[in-house]
Amino acid sequence: MSGHAQLFAFENDFVEALECIPMAVRFKLDLCAVKLSLAQWSAFSRDERAALLAAPCAAPDEVAAYRRRLVELVAERAHEAAKPLAAGATVLWEQGERTPPEVRSFARSIDVPPPPDTAWRDLTSLQRFALLKLSRDNHDNVNFVPALREFGLL
């Protein structure tokens, strides 16, 4: 898989069954501004999860189509309305010039060197997104260091 449909090695624990929401799908959720719970994701079939992983979601028409399909699936499988993400969220992963303070701070808090700005610039949007998500306080951060290693930053 390539681009925004890839699964990272640090996600290996759930690659086969797609039991958890992969970073690539979480990235697409942010792009189409839909909040998806693990319970909703679990209500989808394995094929539906794989289709959401593989579906394009970059151009405006692709983002709109992805959002429509996701809203349909949540209604059909989870029997509830999809919830929008909070408006106005900063898209830090698109700001590729400097390593965000959140990533720097979290790396230091666990005694690993933060990615230098030059390395941050070389990462893909999906890699930057993953590191940002993995450095949040409300996330299971066990994959932060494995992600740094996988991305050649440690």
3-class state of residue 35 by DSSP: strand
CA distance 143 to 64: 30
pLDDT at position 18: 86
Which whole number is the average pLDDT over 123-129? 93
Confidence label for 1 from pLDDT (cuts 50, 70 and 90): very low
pLDDT in tens, 19-78: 889 999 999 999 999 999 999 999 999 999 999 999 999 999 999 999 999 999 999 999
3-class state of residue 34 by DSSP: strand
CA distance 103 to 146: 14
pLDDT at position 25: 95
pLDDT at position 44: 96
- Cβ proximity of 112 and 120 under 8 Å: no
pLDDT at position 27: 93
- Tokens 């997104």 label which residue? 129
pLDDT in tens, 83-110: 998 765 557 777 778 999 999 999 999 9
Confidence label for 4 from pLDDT (cuts 50, 70 and 90): low
Which whole number is the average pLDDT over 107-134? 94
Give the DSSP per-residue string, 44-99: S-HHHHHHHHHS---SHHHHHHHHHHHHHHIIIIISSPPEEPPTT---GGG--SS-
